[in-house]
Amino acid sequence: MTETRSTCPYCGVGCGVIIESQGDDITGVRGDPDHPANFGRLCTKGSTLHLTASSVVTRQTRLLYPMRREHRGEAPQRASWDSALDFASESFAKIIQEHGPDAVGFYISGQLLTEDYYVFNKLAKGLIGTNNIDSNSRLCMSSAVAGYKQTLGADAPPACYDDVKHAQCLFIVGSNTAYAHPILFRRIEDAKAANPALNIIYCDPRRTDTAEIADLYLPLQPGTDVMLFNGMLHIMLWEGWTDPAWIATHTHDFDALKATVRDCTPDLVAQTCGIKKEDLFAAAKLFATSGATLSLYCQGLNQSSSGTAKNAALINLHLATAQIGKPGAGPFSLTGQPNAMGGREVGGMANLLSAHRDLSNAEHRAEVAALWGVPSVPEKPGKTAVEMFQAVADGEIKALWIACTNPAQSMPDQALVRRALARAELVIVQEAFATTATCAWADLLLPATTWGEKTGTVTNSERCISRVRPAVAAPGETRHDWSIAAAFAQRLERLLPGRSPGALFPYSLTDPALGVESIWNEHRESTRGRDLDITGMSYALLEQAPRQWPLKEGETTGKARLYEDGIFPTLDGRARFVNTVYKPVAEPRESRYPFSLTTGRLRDQWHGMSRTGTLGRLFGHVAEPSVQMNAQDMARRLLKEGELVHVTSKRGSIIVPVQASPEVAVSQAFMAMHWGSEYLSGQSSIGQPLAGVNALTTSAYCPSSKQPELKHAAVKILKAELP
């Protein structure tokens, strides 16, 4: 038996694992006792990784060879890598020459490793000359990115997991930590057991399992977070719980915010948020007056048409009370995906560039062009996730390359997404699994390696970079994601005029270990002098143990906590308050659509279930999809437990069983995000089967972060009239 240290491919906690393998089979997995994220612990998903990888069942779900479809609707036929890459590069070159570089787009994934992300970003922005590259991280963390940048000056979570044990007050908001980040939740349980004086406040429309550990639960109405945070600041100011001296020394722009929150009276806030005034007061007091307050937050803030304002309003509270830059204190966004952070670091999104540079900044564009050795990086903003599918549906983008993600299930407003995929002239899907809904639209399928087979790095929620290592050989003809992108790029370089073949992608394709390390070193160099400088973080250093950034050349340890000196990465070193004004959800419930539908994760499933859906025991917790409602609402509508209902929004309708849940408040409903079209019935207006809950969700997005409001749609729920 061989043992290989690696990292769990599921959530942003980023637990270390030890993979046990025999030959080409992964036979076991256990927590890595030396990994700082988990110290040997694993949750249900992590501890069953070996059963969902390399088993006979899983191999049957894998895409093992390049496949090409001559005509849509026909079965794809096996192709050679050479013919597949020739077809891809010639098709892209033709479209680019006829319609310009912005006629193509790349939609990639927070499941990719940092090195994969780096090559895709360079391919789009450096070689082709388009910024049309975005990621499913847009659906996950882009509001957190915008919130950090607007307030603290850089996209850098300032706290670390260890802060949980130093906190005196934990403010958990918009995060079902017990399900979405289970091993971090174990730390919260440990901290509570060790320190009974630790106060835990939990804010969420649903009374989830996370609420069980809370001393104070605020069941706020969906989308009212900004009003809640502004109301807490109103009380803090009134009671003298802010820190005027710290504010004066370390921040700007407090006066405008003060004027805004003056109107957020306790009566108004209690009424808008649906919480008691005394609970609002208690939350403000605990947050402001505790020795150290740590906020943990996730999609409840991010997946919102006010996502950036929600993030900024929460960070405003930390700045107003100086709850930042000390042990146990600070705003701490939790990343949903295993490498959403790594993607942010290499700038693998439409508005970003390498090492936290901004596309909108001419100096940053020039720096990246010089690093890559290209004349320029295009100035025109790229299309973000929703914009990209809209542009494909409008015929503006003609070729779409999708890597390691399943937009035909995970994107909001599936009617739009499927209209786009049907309209595209060319859809290339680079995937490990042949079972995703998106594969059905592919003209070309490119088989990729996955966890247990890949090598590279990921960054978890606390800025800690870990190695991902292969335990078994790549099955079939699968190739690593970065090497597929690089092989395509090397062909495209020869077809596009004015490019220098071999110059931009000099990574070894014959020795993947060498190739991936040279990409890492190029990325490291791009961070020199930046806030996330990792010039000292060689693979050799990471061989010893994971490290947090920043970690400059000559250093061997990173920074657990940022801003302990009170200096922020802005021009003058001061943080900025953002004047956050409350706006309701994009689609409030109304008489025809009287329920607020929220979506979220289950404890034992991951995303579209490509991996977790292959293992029966992971359905032991929740066996089938349903819509959860409050028992009062069900009684009023004469609905019985398990009865089939139509759940309908302005965009689509699906049929699922209804289930009474004490977690769900009156006039609200909840559906898990994991199930797709094979489980749910319904037809869109274009005649394609719809894809689970995202047949219903809205593509309305935050104007700053462009993150869509997956957390709220107005729906009606009616007994299904079946033939």
The footprint of ligand SF4 (CB under 6 A) covers 8, 10-11, 13-15, 38, 42-43, 45-46, 181-183
CA distances from 672 to 302, 624, 693, 710, 711 (A): 17, 10, 7, 11, 11
- Closer residue to ligand SF4, CB minimum distance, 190 or 263: 190
**Short-list 408, 399, 163, 190, CA closest to 291:** 163
- Closer residue to ligand SF4, CB minimum distance, 181 or 574: 181
- Closer residue to ligand SF4, CB minimum distance, 51 or 585: 51
Cβ distance 577 to 257 under 8 Å? yes
- Closer residue to ligand SF4, CB minimum distance, 136 or 630: 136
- Report H helices in 427-480: none
* CB of residue 13 to ligand SF4, shortest distance in Å: 4
User: Quick one: the chain helix, strand, coil %, rounded to 5?
Assistant: 35, 20, 45
Instruction: Burial-class residue 197 by CB neighbours within 10 Å (0-12, 13-18, 19+).
Output: exposed
- Closer residue to ligand SF4, CB minimum distance, 183 or 415: 183
* CB of residue 174 to ligand SF4, shortest distance in Å: 18
- Closer residue to ligand SF4, CB minimum distance, 121 or 302: 302
* CB of residue 176 to ligand SF4, shortest distance in Å: 13
* CB of residue 31 to ligand SF4, shortest distance in Å: 7
Q: Which residues pair with 331 in a beta bridge?
A: 295
In degrees and rounded to multiples of 5, residue 187 shows phi and psi of -65, -35
Q: Give CA–CA dist 214/209, Å, rounded.
A: 10
- Closer residue to ligand SF4, CB minimum distance, 37 or 119: 37
- Closer residue to ligand SF4, CB minimum distance, 322 or 465: 465
* CB of residue 543 to ligand SF4, shortest distance in Å: 21
Residue by residue, DSSP assigns 69-83 as -SSTTSPPEE--HHH
CA distances from 723 to 547, 643, 720 (A): 60, 15, 10
* CB of residue 616 to ligand SF4, shortest distance in Å: 18
Give the residue closest to ligand SF4 by C-beta: 46
**Short-list 230, 231, 233, 228, CA closest to 217:** 228
* CB of residue 310 to ligand SF4, shortest distance in Å: 24
- Closer residue to ligand SF4, CB minimum distance, 334 or 442: 334
- Closer residue to ligand SF4, CB minimum distance, 217 or 297: 297
Dihedral in degrees, nearest 10, Cα atoms 625, 630, 634, 639: 20
Planar angle of CA 222, 211, 314, nearest 5 degrees? 50
Q: Is the dihedral of CA 553, 555, 559, 563 positive or negative?
A: negative
Residue type, 536: G
Give kind and range of the element (H or E) at residue 400: strand 399-403
* CB of residue 21 to ligand SF4, shortest distance in Å: 18
- Closer residue to ligand SF4, CB minimum distance, 40 or 274: 40
Q: Are strands 293-297 and 330-333 parallel, antiparallel or unpaired?
A: parallel
Q: Give CA–CA dist 239/261, Å, rounded.
A: 14
* CB of residue 184 to ligand SF4, shortest distance in Å: 7
Residue by residue, DSSP assigns 303-351 as SSTTHHHHHHHHHHHHHHTT-SSSTT-EEEEPPSSTTHHHHHHTT-STT
* CB of residue 24 to ligand SF4, shortest distance in Å: 23
- Closer residue to ligand SF4, CB minimum distance, 125 or 181: 181
Extract the tokens encoding 543.
């061989």
* CB of residue 188 to ligand SF4, shortest distance in Å: 12
* CB of residue 689 to ligand SF4, shortest distance in Å: 29
